[in-house]
Structures are given as structure tokens and as C-alpha cells.
Chain A
């Protein structure tokens, strides 16, 4: 298994405020990887940098062997077809209904007939656990959990190689959150996905993640598995994992 995302010495500044001061992580292919850290520690920022939504001031990020700092437009599009992002609040297109939202990437990037696209979209919706009668609703008519499911279906539409999830279980009830975790795990193994997620949820950390990093004080405090984390002596990490448990 090769390294699919490589982050080296990334420095991020917002004005004079330093967010990352030399952050380096490696994400292997097929891994379910978590980015952890307290509020405002810059974990979402790090993810946004990986998906080219945010520029960084120093260092290097390579995704699938391509450095994204000076990437050409064409390469960027190719890369973007290979990944999908699930935003925290779904970020569904409000002018399109559920099935159109899911179909959108397929309509843009493939030459599949309309019926096939519809069939794929329907099954992705079923996969993400959305009820049938919500198929033709508009995003404004959906609840938070439903929006998340639709967003997951949309992220899955193109069968990406990497999926980025921004706090996937936040705002879901415990049962839904657990189901969501199980779903992510299942998808990762079935579709051979690499998953990168930002999360706080201890259940997710325990049951879903293969490996994670913890951002603390602008640097990577720890990178490894949960087992290794438990043996790692640092009050901040202890605190973090304990607080999550309660």
C-alpha cells in the first residue's frame, strides 16, 4: 500500500495568526484516517488545504503523487474527479432536488445515459440510507441527518478513490451516527476507498479509524493507531481521549 496523501512541513498563517507550523502526515492507500484536535486547532483547515480550497504559506502537499501547490488546471480537474468531499452541513445545491444533486457529478463527468445515471443515483441514495419518499424533495425540505445522507450519496456518486469527510457524525443522533460509522467502514473496504475525516466523535475514533493524527499547538502531537495513542504519554492527548469518552 503506497502513500496516497503526503503532507510535509505545512505552514499556514491567517494574517499574523499562525495555524500550522510545520505539519507533516502520511496517509496510506485504503486507510481510514482521522484528523483530530481541539476546536480551532486547524484540523478543518488542514483538510481544506488538501482539497485545494485553502492556500498554505509553506511546505508541500502531495495527493496521489501530484504536488498540489503548483498544479496545472488539467491535473487539478483529474484529481478532483478522484476525490469527493462531504461537507459538515451537506452543502447540497439548493436549486436541485435530491436525485439531481446526486446525479450532478455523473452528468458532468460521464457520458452515461440518463436512465443509468438515475439508477446509479437511486442506489447510492439507498446505500447511504435515505428513505425512498425523499427522492424528489429539495434540500430545504430535508432534516439535517437526511441532508448528510444525500451529501454522502453525492460524494459516492463518482466512486472516488479518496473521500474527505468533515465531521460526518456531528448533528446525528447516536444510532444514526453509529450506523453512519458502520457504513463508512463498509464502504471503505468494499469500494477500496481511502477516507480522511475530521472528527471529535470517540465512537468513530474507536471503531472506524485505522490511524489518526492529533494537532496540538500548531504541530502534530501524535500520529498512529488508537493502541499506540493509549501508550503515548502526553497530558493533552490523554485529556482529549478521556473527554471524548465521557
Chain B
């Protein structure tokens, strides 16, 4: 360990003696003593290093910085008694001493800052919305181009995405939908039993699952699975310059990356929703059988009588739109990724939140519209 003595000879002269090690482990006490010396108004400072045993770069740097601090103030500062073997490192430290660069702080009035803080996200949101619209428009343009030249369509990629985002999502969608059907029936059963209206469980479960719950649950699960995957995939491609490579070869990233994903989801969403319909209602059937004594047979017979086809169709027609929304948002956010790996994470979060929000918002809108129209 190092030992550092500070001796004030008179009011303007200070002598510092360093003995032992001046290294990373021992610098701390030296630094605090030196800091106190720096506060004083001195004109002669001498540092005696004749008893110094070892010196590393950090120590040398501190010494050099200390000397230059006093020299700049017009005071004479010297280091004496330095062993020959330390001269090299001192020289190296002197050569590489750098003052802290000044950063210009913005001198904004605090009110301006507050308005900025609130206003900027709002403006950004609007900007984002218009950017999304233009992205959407470009995708539609490219789809028209594809209709004219269908041999450019990426069938293989589309099939891969149908498998990855559609087929592989079935287990989790099935489980979620089953549980939701179960819970709805369970909570409803209690209330219906009070009125002796047991059989209405069929109407309640079937219509709510077919019309609202299955499409919504599926969309939310797919948004969590695929919107995030699309953003992360495309974002990574952007950072590794794969997208630039595509462009430089004259391949359009929308045709290569966006349309296969969008079309894959548009195709697979109604299929998954149909599956979710079956599993969700099955969940309700189990509860109806177990708690209300309505057998599976009775359930199905009743369902055939009361559940109109339109409920199932409405649910299935909504699905491709949700798929379009999810895939477009996922891809759009992916293209917004810039620079660092950190921004992949940020945009992936944004994309999932956006996708889920817009799915729910659109569902609400459709629900209100259809009810008003009377379907």
C-alpha cells in the first residue's frame, strides 16, 4: 500500500511525499489528499517520489494531471526523485493527458423544455401515423405490381411464414381459447342457474366466442407472437445491412419481406380463428355438462337452433383484417429500427403494444358499427 504525506512548509509552499505504491488500489487516499491541496492558493508544490516503489498508468496520470493543474495556474510544480524505470510511464501519461471536453448544455427555458417533453411524443405519434400510412400505401402499390407480375410473388417464403406464424401458433391459441371459453361458461353458469335459465349457457358461450372472443384472443396471441417476431427479424436485417443488400440488387424489400408475411397472416388468421372457435365452445360445453347438467348432445342441438351463421361469419371475416393489421405494424416497426441493437428491443415493444391496441380498437369499432346497423 502507498503512504502519502502532505506537508505545508509555509503559506504558499507545499511538499508531498509519496512512499510505497501509487497504483489503482492505493490511488483513492492519494486523490482525496491531493484534492484538498488543489483547493489551496499555492505557488510552490514539490512532489518527492524517491521512496515510490511502484507506479502504474493510473497513478502516473494522476501525478501528471496534478502538476499540470498547478502549472496552468502559474504556480511552480515539480516532481523529483523519480526512479529511472518510472520515467517512461510518466512520459506516456503526460503525452496522453486529456482534459474533459466541454459539452454544450442546451440553455432552454424550463417551460420550453416541458412543452417539448409533452409535445414531441404527440408530434412523433402523428408523424408515425403518416409514415405508417405511406408504408401501407407503398405495400398496396407493390401488391398491385405483383398482381400484374405474379411470378415475382414469393410463394415459398409465404408458406414458411404460414407455418411459422400460423400452424405453430395453434397449440397456444387453442389453449388460450379453451380456457377463455371455460371461464366464460363457468362465470355465466352461476348467474344463469339462479334464474333456472340453464339452457341459455349455449347461446351465451357460442355467440360470444364465435363473434368476439375467438377472433380477439387469437389476434392478441398472434400479435404477441408474430408482430414481435417480424419487427425483430426485419430490424436485425436492417442493422446487418441485409435490407441494403436487397435494395442494391434491385430486389424490393416490400415484395421480399413484407408481402409474404402479410399474406401469410391474412391467410392463416381465419383458419386459426375457426380452430379457436371450436376449442372455445368446447371449453364451454365441458362446463355446461359438468355444472349445469346440459349434455354435449343437448348443447349441440340447442346451438344449431339459436346460433345464426352470421355470428360465425362475422368472427371469421374480422380475422384477415386483424392479420393484415398485425403483420403491417410488425413489419413497419421493423423498418424503423436504426443503428444499435437496443433499438430492436424498443421497436419490438412498440410494435406489440401497437398491434394489440389497434386490434382491440378495430374490434370495438366493428362491434359498434355492426350492432348499429343491426347485424
Interface of B, helix, strand, loop or mixed by DSSP = helix
Instruction: Compute how far the CA of A125 lies from the CA of B88 in the bound complex, rounded to whole angstroms.
Output: 19
Which residue in B25, B57, B100, B341 is a CB contact (below 8 Å) of A94? B341
Query: With A112-B28, A132-B101, A159-B57 in contact, do A123 and B341 touch (Cβ < 8 Å)?
Result: no
CB–CB B96/A123 < 8 A: yes
CB–CB B27/A135 < 8 A: no
Which residue in A116, A123, A138 is a CB contact (below 8 Å) of B31? A116
CB distance from B105 to the nearest CB of A (A): 12
CB distance from B135 to the nearest CB of A (A): 23
CB–CB A120/B58 < 8 A: yes
CB–CB A119/B62 < 8 A: yes
Determine whether B298 belongs to the interface, using a CB cutoff of 8 Å to chain A: no
Name the residue in A94, A115, A123, A136 with the highest tally of chain B Cβ atoms < 10 Å from its Cβ. A123
CB–CB A138/B340 < 8 A: yes
Query: With A116-B58, A119-B61, A119-B65 in contact, do A139 and B340 touch (Cβ < 8 Å)?
Result: yes
CB–CB B340/A140 < 8 A: yes
Determine whether B24 belongs to the interface, using a CB cutoff of 8 Å to chain A: yes
| Chain B: number of interface residues, binned into ranges | 20 to 34
Instruction: Compute how far the CA of A118 lies from the CA of B103 in the bound complex, rounded to whole angstroms.
Output: 15
Smallest CB gap from A109: residue in B: B24
Determine whether B156 belongs to the interface, using a CB cutoff of 8 Å to chain A: no
CB–CB B101/A190 < 8 A: no
CB distance from B36 to the nearest CB of A (A): 13
Determine whether B339 belongs to the interface, using a CB cutoff of 8 Å to chain A: yes
CB–CB A122/B98 < 8 A: yes
Query: With A113-B28, A116-B27, A140-B339 in contact, do A190 and B92 touch (Cβ < 8 Å)?
Result: yes
Give how many A residues have a beta carbon under 8 Å from the other chain's beta carbons: 28
Determine whether B56 belongs to the interface, using a CB cutoff of 8 Å to chain A: yes
List of B residues within 8 angstroms of A120 by Cβ: 57-58, 61
Known: A94-B341, A116-B27, A127-B96. 18 other contacts (CB 8 A): A110-B24, A112-B58, A116-B62, A118-B100, A119-B61, A122-B98, A122-B99, A123-B57, A125-B98, A126-B96, A132-B101, A133-B101, A138-B339, A139-B340, A140-B340, A141-B339, A190-B89, A190-B92
Query: What are 21 A-to-B residue pairs whose CB atoms are below 8 Å?
Result: A94-B340, A110-B25, A112-B27, A112-B58, A115-B31, A119-B65, A120-B57, A120-B58, A122-B99, A123-B93, A124-B96, A125-B98, A126-B96, A136-B101, A136-B103, A138-B340, A139-B340, A140-B338, A159-B24, A159-B56, A190-B89
Interface residues of A (CB under 8 A from B): 94-95, 110-113, 115-116, 118-120, 122-127, 132-133, 135-136, 138-141, 159, 190-191
